[in-house]
A and B are shown apart, each in its own frame.
Chain A
Amino acid sequence: MNRRNFLAAFIASGGALVTGSAINAGGFGWHLPDQAMHSSLLIASTGSMFDLCQLLTHEYKKQNSLIDVINEKGDSLQGIIAVKRGAIDLAAISRELSSEEDDAESNSFLIARSNISIIVHPDSPIKNMSQNQVSNIFSGQITNWQQVGGSNAPINIVSRKRGSNTRKFVEDVVLAGSEITATAKEVDSTRQLAAAVANDIYAIGYIAAKNDSGGAVVCSIDIDGVVASHITVLSGRYPYTNSFYLLFSGEQAGIKFDFIRFVRSPAGQALVTKQGFVAVC
């Protein structure tokens, strides 16, 4: 099994393949051609960070052509387990480590943030809602605008389809694990979603700030009185903020740490911005 297959199998199995240690994983590198010249960087990225990591590793490789970079998709927990077992070098994760996960060997560097905006029609009288109201609307418990201080009219929810990273973020963070109501109208892209909200005064939807709304005019509402802006996302006070980390275990040295330095440099952060995330370094 080569390292790539090993990683793919590892991610697919949720970490069950390897019982234990860095020594196991290290053994898989022996067959690589010209070991003295080539080095490799194995990354497991959570879905919402995969494209960003592809772009970052692509640019990084331009300056370090002898490094083989392998970036595979997995979820945050699988990545965390794989890093701790030494099976991979870096995990790109979309949440903070819990206090149990944050052991003495763990280093988690914040590399980007993003946020979800809750959007309505520009003529909607609703400019602010509590987190509770937003969650009750998207889970289907509040169905009329009157219940949140609007006019007596049904709330038309527009949502991305299952499989969208933005939808997953809404279900994880905004709905605390519940699903978006089945009565929601489902669309394929952010552009379609923004267009649907821009054309219906009784609609509500959500967009990731990093996605292009295609020029549709919609209005982002404040949450608990906090406007979604770069400043409130950096301060972390805007509640629907997501943080993205690169995690590794052990010494701050080698290719993995060099890559993190690149990601946090002005050049790396320019790519973070280019990909539509909020730069944090």
Chain B
Amino acid sequence: MWEFTHYKTAFYLSVFILFIGIDVQAREHAVHIRGSTTLMPIAQKVAETYMAEHEGTKIVISGGGTAHGYKAVMDGTADIAMASSLIPDDIKNQCQLKGIELRHTLLGYATILAVVNPSNNVMNLSLTQLKDIFTGRIKNWKKVGGIDAPITIYVGPPTGGITDTWKSLILGVDDTYTPAGIVLNNSERLQKITTETNAITFLTLDKSNYEKLKVLKINNVSPDKFTVGNGSYTLRAPLLLITTAHPTAEVLDFIRYFSAPEQANNVGEMVRVVADEKDDHHE
């Protein structure tokens, strides 16, 4: 009988401790973030001001790319994924199989630049011309108002993020890149475009590199905060924070903080969404 009571007390005590435990843990739960290297430098600055203002919180950030981020949220090794492209189909399928619902918050956009060498006399391409160049239907600069010279095309490796977004903007679902397209990473493409007169590629970069290359207008629209924010400049990648359907209070609090207009100094080259487009929604 004594033993019985003893167990019972222990049981109630442990239930009590369990509740206390949950309460304390909920407030001290760290937020782990992985994913897009485009979004990472922005997230790092926001996280640092957040941690400085909220003593005892931990916002832990790693890169690895958009695809890595999506996977990490799906398997629970991260609380938030940073993404610079919408949910890829293979991840969508895996989520459906596992019954996982993902939720995304649009923070803003990264501007994708169509770039050529400064010596190139072409200033503007229509989106259709850009598509025709990357699919190989247009092979010579003279077809788009340039000199008589073959077009060299550089594309990005299939690592998700900006590369995926560019590909879906340019190729849609049906088209494919011309086999003549050469696959290089960002810094290699930047290097090529600054040295090769007939090259074209896409990049996201800060203004410090602008003088070494020429940024093309698309459909006669130059990229700037306004044209990217309202979508009239069409080459832009969504910058997203991805969570599961029911994130912890800490995760929601950090996402709210990140989305707030007061973060203007931290967001660098990210373009905030103009007006009514901003929305949290379920995928």
Contact surface of A with B, Cβ cutoff 8 Å: 96, 99, 102, 104, 107-110, 113, 231-232, 234-237, 243, 252, 266, 279-281
B59's contact among A109, A235, A252, by CB below 8 Å, is which? A235
Please, which residue of chain A has its CB at the minimum distance from the CB of B57? Answer: A234
B77 and A107 form a contact (CB under 8 A): yes
Within the assembled complex, what's the spacing in Å between the Cα atoms of A235 and B45? 8
B contact residues around A234 at 8 Å (CB): 47, 51, 58-61
Please, which residue of chain A has its CB at the minimum distance from the CB of B29? Answer: A281
Interface residues on B, range: 20 to 34
Within the assembled complex, what's the spacing in Å between the Cα atoms of A252 and B65? 23
| 8 tightest A-B CB contacts, nearest first | A235-B44, A237-B44, A236-B61, A235-B47, A280-B60, A281-B30, A231-B51, A235-B48
Q: A107-B77, A109-B77, A280-B58 are in contact. Are A236 and B63 (CB under 8 A)?
A: yes
Q: How far is the CB of A247 from chain B (nearest CB, A)?
A: 10
User: What are 22 contact pairs spanning A and B, CB under 8 A?
Assistant: A99-B64, A102-B68, A102-B71, A104-B71, A104-B94, A107-B77, A108-B77, A110-B32, A110-B77, A231-B48, A231-B52, A234-B60, A235-B43, A235-B51, A235-B60, A236-B40, A236-B44, A236-B60, A237-B41, A237-B44, A266-B24, A279-B58
Known contacts A99-B67, A266-B25, then 6 further A-B pairs from the complex at CB < 8 Å, ordered by chain A residue:
A96-B64, A99-B68, A109-B77, A231-B48, A237-B41, A280-B32
B48 and A99 form a contact (CB under 8 A): no
Asked if B75 is at the interface (CB within 8 A of a chain A CB), the reply is yes
Asked if B159 is at the interface (CB within 8 A of a chain A CB), the reply is yes
Asked if B76 is at the interface (CB within 8 A of a chain A CB), the reply is yes
B contact residues around A102 at 8 Å (CB): 64, 68, 71
Please, which residue of chain B has its CB at the minimum distance from the CB of A246? Answer: B77
Q: How far is the CB of B19 from chain A (nearest CB, A)?
A: 15
B contact residues around A109 at 8 Å (CB): 77
Q: How far is the CB of A113 from chain B (nearest CB, A)?
A: 7
B contact residues around A236 at 8 Å (CB): 40, 44, 60-63
Within the assembled complex, what's the spacing in Å between the Cα atoms of A235 and B51? 9
Q: Using a CB-CB cutoff of 8 Å, which residues 13-70 of chain B contact chain A?
A: 24-25, 28-30, 32, 40-41, 43-45, 47-48, 51-52, 58-65, 67-68
Q: Using a CB-CB cutoff of 8 Å, which residues 91-125 of chain B contact chain A?
A: 94
Within the assembled complex, what's the spacing in Å between the Cα atoms of A231 and B65? 22
B contact residues around A113 at 8 Å (CB): 60
Please, which residue of chain B has its CB at the minimum distance from the CB of A108? Answer: B77
Q: How far is the CB of A81 from chain B (nearest CB, A)?
A: 20
B58 and A243 form a contact (CB under 8 A): no
A280 and B76 form a contact (CB under 8 A): no
A contact residues around B48 at 8 Å (CB): 231-232, 235, 237
B contact residues around A231 at 8 Å (CB): 48, 51-52
Q: How far is the CB of B201 from chain A (nearest CB, A)?
A: 21
Please, which residue of chain A has its CB at the minimum distance from the CB of B65? Answer: A99
Within the assembled complex, what's the spacing in Å between the Cα atoms of A252 and B75? 9
Q: How far is the CB of A237 from chain B (nearest CB, A)?
A: 5
Q: A234-B61, A235-B48, A280-B32 are in contact. Are A107 and B68 (CB under 8 A)?
A: no
A280 and B75 form a contact (CB under 8 A): no
Please, which residue of chain B has its CB at the minimum distance from the CB of A113? Answer: B60
Within the assembled complex, what's the spacing in Å between the Cα atoms of A232 and B30? 15
B contact residues around A108 at 8 Å (CB): 77
A contact residues around B52 at 8 Å (CB): 231
Within the assembled complex, what's the spacing in Å between the Cα atoms of A158 and B85? 46
B62's contact among A243, A266, A279, by CB below 8 Å, is which? A243
A contact residues around B32 at 8 Å (CB): 110, 280
Q: How far is the CB of B76 from chain A (nearest CB, A)?
A: 7
Please, which residue of chain B has its CB at the minimum distance from the CB of A245? Answer: B77
